[in-house]
């Protein structure tokens, strides 16, 4: 990293976020209950929770759970009441935004989104505009959790890919280093002090982090294809209860549904998160469903992340190893164990 680092004392953070709030929408992890940490728009007095992974990743800021794509109104022709015209209004909103306190796995999750919505064959104007307007400030992980496996899927606790400004925890605060120009611009704020004496500590902190790459995933895309039509999926999905918790807490799951919701002569076309764990996910208009039970649905989840996605997007897994799916699963189904078994049986 560069030698342009600055020191950000912990007690300067609320002031910094407040000042940034004058120019940007600022989201930061906030404790909302005894156990839940969410990225909320920062307000003075909010209880920041920067030393733990947030319960949900910040994906909702760029890819809201519900988003209005357009609104429409029908106008009847007074001359001929059987005729009506529809007036459509675009509702794209992309305000300058800062995500403060993401984790390396969260930042990497947005790189998975970029490949799908920003850089690929189809470009999503809504995501694209928001992504451009967003600056990501990441806190490196000096204490990974026992559900973390980012190093197994190409990331790492001190990985800076996808971040604009990178914070390393040091005594009394964070050592901040820019990763992009956008991130560097934030360092102009008065909260950042000269930090020469903190650079070495930050480097040592990063070097101390140990998270072994525990999964051997070479060739897994092919193993998954070979297992496609086998009873393997019945065995590994037996305990799954087919809820959508794993997909909704996942920083890379991006499947969506589009619905027109009309009331009277007005309506909105909304996009909402979908989940491959739900029956309606691939239900066809004919009534046929190619993924009728949890067995096929669970196969889809693993297959998408570790076979179809890397095949379509230059080897990048649709998983950043954040471990939230393991923590959120009501039956503690461990995706790492499933991947190990795929390698054994595939």
Partner 1 sequence: MEAIGKLREDIQKELEDVEFIIGWEQGFDALHATPLFIRSQEDIDRLIWNPLCVHNLASYLPQLKGRKVGVLLKGCDSRSVIQLLQEGLIQREEIVIFGISCPGVVDLSKIRARMNVSQVKRVSFAEGNVTIETPQGREEFPLDEVLATKCLSCQYPTPLIYDHLAGEALSPQRPADLLYKEVEEIEKLDVKERLAHWERELNRCIRCYACRNACPLCVCQDYCAADSRNPHWLSQRAGIGEKVMWHIMHALHVAGRCTDCGECERACPMDIPIQRIRKKINKEIKALFDYEAGVNTEDTPPLYTFQMEESTIREKDW
Instruction: Quote the CA–CA distance of 179 and 167 in Å, as a whole number.
Output: 10
Q: Is 146 in the site for partner 1 (CB under 8 A)?
A: yes
Closer residue to partner 1 (CB): 36 or 265 = 36
Report residue 94 as tokens: 């992309």
- Closest approach of partner 1 to the CB of residue 183, in Å: 27
Burial of residue 172 (CB within 10 Å: 0-12, 13-18, 19+) is exposed
Q: Is 248 in the site for partner 1 (CB under 8 A)?
A: yes
- Closest approach of partner 1 to the CB of residue 186, in Å: 29
- Identify residues 305-334 at the interface with partner 1 (CB under 8 A): 326-328, 330-334
Please give the size of the binding site for partner 1, defined by CB under 8 A: 47
Closer residue to partner 1 (CB): 37 or 186 = 37
- Closest approach of partner 1 to the CB of residue 206, in Å: 19
Closest residue by Cα to residue 41 from 1, 99, 123, 128: 99
- Closest approach of partner 1 to the CB of residue 40, in Å: 10
Instruction: Quote the CA–CA distance of 286 and 307 in Å, as a whole number.
Output: 28
Kindly write out the interface string for residues 182-221 of this chain, putting x where it contacts partner 1 by CB under 8 A and - elsewhere. Answer: ----------------------------------------
Chain centroid offset of residue 55 CA: 11
Closest residue by Cα to residue 303 from 225, 218, 216, 219: 225
* Lookup result for tokens 């004392």: 9
Asked if residue 326 lies in contact with residue 338, where contact means CB atoms within 8 angstroms, the answer is no
Closest residue by Cα to residue 304 from 329, 274, 283, 333: 274
- Identify residues 45-84 at the interface with partner 1 (CB under 8 A): 52, 55-56, 65-66
- Closest approach of partner 1 to the CB of residue 153, in Å: 17
Considering only residues 193, 241, 290, 311, which one is a binding residue for partner 1 as defined by CB under 8 A?
A: 241
Considering only residues 257, 265, 290, 315, which one is a binding residue for partner 1 as defined by CB under 8 A?
A: 257
Q: Is 247 in the site for partner 1 (CB under 8 A)?
A: yes
Residues 6 or more apart from 285 whose CB is under 8 A from it? none
Give the residue ranges of DSSP H helices in the chain.
13-20, 59-62, 104-113, 125-132, 181-186, 196-208, 220-227, 232-237, 245-248, 294-303, 309-312, 324-328, 335-345
Closer residue to partner 1 (CB): 123 or 239 = 239
Closer residue to partner 1 (CB): 222 or 235 = 235
Q: Is 91 in the site for partner 1 (CB under 8 A)?
A: no
Residues that bind partner 1 (CB under 8 A): 32-36, 38, 52, 55-56, 65-66, 143, 145-147, 235, 238-239, 241-245, 247-249, 257, 259, 261, 270, 272-273, 275, 278-280, 283, 326-328, 330-334, 336-337
């Amino acid at each position: 990293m560069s030698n342009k680092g600055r020191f950000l004392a912990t007690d300067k953070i609320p002031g910094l976020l407040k000042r940034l709030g004058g120019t940007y929408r600022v989201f930061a992890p906030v404790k909302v209950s005894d156990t839940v940490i969410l990225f909320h728009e920062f307000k003075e007095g909010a209880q920041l929770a920067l030393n733990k992974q947030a319960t949900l990743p910040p994906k909702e800021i760029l890819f809201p759970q519900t988003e209005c794509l357009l609104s429409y109104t029908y106008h009847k022709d007074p001359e001929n009441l059987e005729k009506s015209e529809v007036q459509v209004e675009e509702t794209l909103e992309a305000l300058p935004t800062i995500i403060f306190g993401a984790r390396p796995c969260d930042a990497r999750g947005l790189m998975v989104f970029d490949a799908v919505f920003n850089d690929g064959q189809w470009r999503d104007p809504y995501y694209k505009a928001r992504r451009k307007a967003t600056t990501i400030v990441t806190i490196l992980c000096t204490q990974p959790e026992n559900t973390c496996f980012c190093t197994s899927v190409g990331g790492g606790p001190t990985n800076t890919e996808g971040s604009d400004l990178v914070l390393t925890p040091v005594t009394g605060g964070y050592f901040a280093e820019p990763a992009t120009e956008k991130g560097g611009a934030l360092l102009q704020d008065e909260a950042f002090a000269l930090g020469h004496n903190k650079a070495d500590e930050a480097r040592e902190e990063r070097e101390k982090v140990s998270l072994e790459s525990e999964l051997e995933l070479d060739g897994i895309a092919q193993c998954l294809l070979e297992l496609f039509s086998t009873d393997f999926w019945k065995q590994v999905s037996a305990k799954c209860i087919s809820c959508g918790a794993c997909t909704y807490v996942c920083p890379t799951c991006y499947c969506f549904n589009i619905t027109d919701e009309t009331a009277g002569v007005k309506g909105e076309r909304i996009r909402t998160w979908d989940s491959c764990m739900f029956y309606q996910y691939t239900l066809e208009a004919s009534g046929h469903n190619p993924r009728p039970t949890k067995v096929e649905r669970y196969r889809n989840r693993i297959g998408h992340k570790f076979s179809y996605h890397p095949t379509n997007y230059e080897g990048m897994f649709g998983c950043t190893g954040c471990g939230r799916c393991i923590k959120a699963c009501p039956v503690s189904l461990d995706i790492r164990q499933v991947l190990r078994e795929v390698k054994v049986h595939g």
